[in-house]
Amino acid sequence: MNSMTGFGAATAPLGAIRLHIEISGVNRKQAEIVVSLPKAWTQLEQRIREYVASTISRGRANVTVSLQPSDAGGASSLALHEKKIAEFRYLLDRMTGLIGQPIQITTDSLIRLGLITDNAEPEIRAEEVWDTALADTLRRAAKQFSAMRATEGAHLRDELLARLGTLRAMRVEMKELAADIPLRYRDTLMQRLEEHGLTLGDDDDRLIKELAIFADKCDVSEEMARLESHFNQFEELCNSDQPVGRTLDFLCQEIFRELNTTGSKANSALLAQAVVKTKTELEKIREQVQNIE
């Protein structure tokens, strides 16, 4: 069992700079991959997307490929575009002469005009960088990402199984409460008849028929049996190494439906309260299931 949330990062030297890759995951119903790359390597986006897609089946993965100054170099990542600056200076002098007054230039304007550039922009061709550094760095980042998802998934499995144990205990409680409902109804019915001066024997056909009809209406044995089946399936899925998030979510819906049916048949305040408690615990499980791949 894997969580959809996780993080992985890896770095590799690339000439005077460093190649840095980060992969982060968040919850999504479907698989979604977003890739951010330096402009010169945009043609590698599909290849990166396909690689990451092979490691996830659900959730949003954000992949960021960036270039950073080398720790050893200590040089600035910014550089002056001297050829453009010379051309710009010539045009600026002409404009000053035409206008008749100096023109103010800000640093922001220099960056927008491309006169100050990012020294980390790669000169290595996309295919070359893939073979020399990017593929291996991506693999290491994805391995760390998967390991974190697996660790988080193990914690989620432990919590889900613990809460499933609580649901099993609540099912036993509901089953016991349901078994007492016809008996309590019989006692209540006999008491009311006596209050009105009517006495019926235990073998009276009318009494037996009334009790039989009531017992059938409030019988939840089928719901309890289906709940047990759903719990068993839930436990098996929790111990699976396959993506099970969607199936677990479906089972939560089925369990909720059985609880609803049990509540509608309750005819007992105690059983209704037990159903509400069970639904509350189930909702906590559903919240965690949303994190599972």
DSSP letter at 7 equals E
Question: Quick one: pLDDT at residue 47?
Answer: 93
Question: Quick one: pLDDT at residue 101?
Answer: 78
Question: Quick one: pLDDT at residue 50?
Answer: 94
At residue 285's C-alpha, the angle toward residues 282 and 291, to 5°, is: 150
Stretch (H or E) spanning 163: helix 135-195
Give the closest residue to 275 by CA, choosing from 215, 229, 237, 218.
Answer: 218
pTM: 0.70
Question: Quick one: pLDDT at residue 75?
Answer: 47
Question: Quick one: pLDDT at residue 182?
Answer: 57
**pLDDT per residue over 2-30, tens digit each?**
999 999 999 998 877 889 999 999 998 88
pLDDT less than 70: residues of the chain: 70-82, 107-123, 180-218
- Residues 1 and 15: their CA atoms lie apart, in Å, by 40
**pLDDT per residue over 105-143, tens digit each?**
776 666 666 666 555 555 678 888 898 899 999 999 999
Question: Quick one: pLDDT at residue 32?
Answer: 93
